[in-house]
A and B are shown apart, each in its own frame.
Chain A
């Protein structure tokens, strides 16, 4: 896949001196879904705003589809669709007018057949004549997406697309994003919901304090950084871990009814067979065994904690 967005050493310092972006470099591949994760104030929205022309860069450069976002802003911006975090719509406009308006300001010729198809895909066709202030929050968020797609962009930026929406709508939104990816649209989304990134993203980027901590294929990241847990459920609860088992670094949970063993999934010799033998030798009777792989959330929390420790140091 070719790079469709190239970000080189982008910095952004606000008028009050706050440095929101501290030299971010990132390449986004055509057709992928890239999830940008990070705590509040990490710089995710600032980065998106800078790429889309809403915030000014302090230094660095960005190209979109090979076009510089400043000197060739017309060509660069015409490739981008943006769904901001906040729902921002003219409350008195009607759905069809709102999407026609966005298509128009992007300089695209009127094409109601395309807009009809788009509104149908987003389950908005029945609401096309409704005033926006009469729609539910979920419907209005869909209108935001419809507006962003109205000019047929190749890249879609979704800033916290499912913030404040219920679980059902969130799942719906994921389906919509997957369908968009299938049509070849490159999607960059910021999210607080790590579950969302885990469900949708091809690659994950983690931003904190204006710095990009890492960008990696999601599966590779989870393989490399993920740990596995083995939970040994005991027949009878125990008060302390037997001294013969101390070397395994076990954790006692469930009021002494379970032992947890953590191990690197990539290690060739994981020591499980020996552990189980030693557990039996220690006189403990096993009732059941359970394994669990660490989620992207665990990895994210570890990364953020490590970065915070580094920053403090």
Chain B
């Protein structure tokens, strides 16, 4: 195994993260913190408790998931799209590296970036709202699984995208709506029965529900379903990536 290549890709990606801290770190942290200020400190006190939890605290897991999912996707998609855009992919394709090693390098860097943002937001939320974490280790595991799954998805988007518009379209038009409508700000129990059923077709619901369970011990759907959702999303993404490198789709002539 070419471990050195994986580490090199990882370090190169992290270097880019630290080179663009305003865009990759400060921007998501500030924008998510504003949700805590508005829905937590400002109007959260006026709202009813959700699943027995103060509203300000209730939205913490959802907002952390929103940040981690979008950051994982954008970091991984940009990570592989940028070399495509500047035509330096020749270097990766002509190097003695396997598919697994290339994906590991990009995905692990994206996961690290997303976790840095997610954990920082979590710590910042502590200053604005009161929340507890019932199962901290499970919480970290869920966070890790989420960022891995969405980084894999981002990698696929980055390979697929042929311009910057395409790079943005899936995160903005699909992932963000799915996360916001997937129970980030409310429990499924507050929805009418018809919309509850419709919402269950949104895979993000299972991820947010499981993550919220690690905080408050309560979930909209059984935790095992959340784990199954991770398994399906992760393995689907891995299968697509394997196919991309096998066929050279959008990478090799």
B253 A56 Cβ-Cβ under 8 A: yes
CA distance A52 to B95 in the complex (A): 8
B107–chain A nearest beta-carbon distance, Å = 16
B94 near A107 (CB under 8 angstroms)? no
CB of A55 within 8 A of CB of B88, answer: no
Residue from A84, A100, A106, A107 in contact with B90 in the complex, judged by beta carbons closer than 8 Å: A84
Cα–Cα distance between A75 and B90 once the two chains are bound (Å):
17
Closest B-chain residue to A74, C-beta based?
B96
Inter-subunit contact A52/B94 (CB<8 Å): yes
- Chain B residues in 8 Å Cβ range of A55: 252-253
Q: Is A200 an interface residue (CB 8 A)?
A: no
When distances are taken between beta carbons in the complex, the residues of chain A under 8 Å from B87 are 84, 86, 88
Across the interface, name the chain A residue whose C-beta is closest to B16.
Answer: A92
Which B residues between 11 and 69 are near A, CB-CB below 8 angstroms? 11-12, 15-16, 19
Q: How far is the CB of A86 from chain B (nearest CB, A)?
A: 6
From B94, which residue of chain A is reached at the shortest CB distance?
A: A52
Contact pick for A104, options B4, B16, B90, B248, CB 8 Å = B4
The answer to whether residues A101 and B4 also contact, given A14-B253, A82-B94 and a CB cut-off of 8 A, is no
Whole-angstrom CA separation of A55 from B5 in the bound complex: 21
With A and B bound together, what is the CA distance between A104 and B105 in angstroms? 12
Q: Are A54 and B7 in contact (CB under 8 A)?
A: no
Q: What residue of chain A has the Cβ atom nearest to residue B105's Cβ? A: A105
Residues on A with C-beta less than 8 A from B94 are 52-54, 77, 80, 82
Shortest Cβ gap from B247 to chain A (Å):
9
B221 / chain A contacts, CB cutoff of 8 Å? none
B180 → chain A, closest Cβ, in Å?
33
Complexed CA–CA distance, A46 and B252 (Å) = 11
- A56 pairs with B86, CB closer than 8 A: no
Provide the bound-state CA to CA distance between A165 and B233, in Å: 49
- Interface membership of B93, Cβ < 8 A: yes
A43-83, CB < 8 A from B: 46, 49, 52-56, 73-78, 80, 82
Q: Is the CB of A104 within 8 A of B7?
A: yes
Contact flag A105-B8 (CB < 8 Å), given A53-B94, A74-B96: yes
| B253 CB to nearest A CB, Å | 4
B148 contacts A by Cβ under 8 Å: no
Whether B248 contacts A101 by the Cβ 8 Å rule is: no
Does B97 count as interface, using CB distance less than 8 angstroms? yes
B88 closest partner in A (C-beta):
A88
CB distance A90 to B86 under 8 Å?
yes
Which of A49, A54, A77, A84: most chain B Cβ within 10 A? A54
Bound Cα distance A51, B92 (Å): 14
Q: Does A242 contact B (CB under 8 A)?
A: no
Q: With A and B bound together, what is the CA distance between A97 and B15 in angstroms?
A: 10
Residues in B whose Cβ lies below 8 Å from that of A106 = 5, 95-96
Using CB atoms, name the residue of chain A closest to B11.
A104
Q: Roughly how many angstroms separate A102 CA and B91 CA in the complex, as a whole number?
A: 7
Q: Give chain A nearest CB distance to B208 CB in angstroms.
A: 36
Which residue of the partner chain B has the closest CB to A108?
A: B4
B86 lies within 8 A of A91 (CB) = yes
Interface centre among A55, A91, A97, A105 (most CB of B within 10 A): A105
User: Once the chains bind, are A56 and B252 in contact (CB under 8 Å)?
Assistant: yes
Interface members, chain B 97-148 (any A CB < 8 Å): 97-98
Residues of B within 8 A of A100 (CB): 8
- Complex CA gap A147/B92 in Å reads 12
Q: Are A101 and B5 in contact (CB under 8 A)?
A: no
How near does chain A come to B86, taking the closest CB pair, in angstroms? 6
CB neighbours (8 Å) of A292 from chain B are none
Question: Judging by beta carbons under 8 Å apart, are A90 and B5 in contact?
Answer: no
Partner of A105, one of B5, B19, B82, B86: B5
In the assembled complex, A122 has its CB within 8 A of some CB on chain B:
no
Q: Is A290 an interface residue (CB 8 A)?
A: no
Residues of A within 8 A of B16 (CB): 92
Kindly state the separation between the CA atoms of A100 and B83 in the bound complex, as whole angstroms.
Answer: 16
- B-facing mask of A102-142, CB < 8 A → 1, else 0? 10111111000000000000000000000000000000000
A234 surroundings in chain B (CB, below 8 A)? none
Are B91 and A107 neighbours in the complex by a CB distance under 8 Å? Answer: no
Q: Which residues of B contact A97 (CB under 8 A)?
A: 15
- The answer to whether A89 has its CB under 8 Å from any CB of chain B is yes
CA A82 to CA B88, docked complex, whole Å: 12
Does B9 lie at the interface of the complex (its beta carbon under 8 Å from any beta carbon of A)? Answer: yes
Please measure, in the bound complex, the distance between the C-alpha atom of A107 and the C-alpha atom of B9, giving whole angstroms: 11
Our pick among A78, A82, A89 for the contact of B86 (Cβ within 8 Å) is: A89
A91 to B253: give the CA distance in the assembly, Å. Answer: 24
Besides A56-B248, A107-B2, 15 other A-B contacts (C-beta < 8 A): A14-B253, A46-B253, A49-B253, A53-B93, A54-B90, A54-B94, A78-B96, A88-B87, A91-B86, A92-B16, A97-B15, A101-B12, A102-B91, A107-B4, A147-B91
Sampled A-B contacts (29; CB under 8 Å): A52-B90, A52-B93, A54-B90, A54-B94, A54-B253, A56-B248, A74-B2, A74-B96, A74-B98, A75-B96, A77-B94, A77-B95, A78-B96, A82-B94, A84-B87, A84-B90, A86-B87, A90-B83, A91-B86, A92-B16, A92-B19, A100-B8, A101-B12, A104-B4, A105-B2, A106-B96, A107-B4, A107-B5, A107-B96
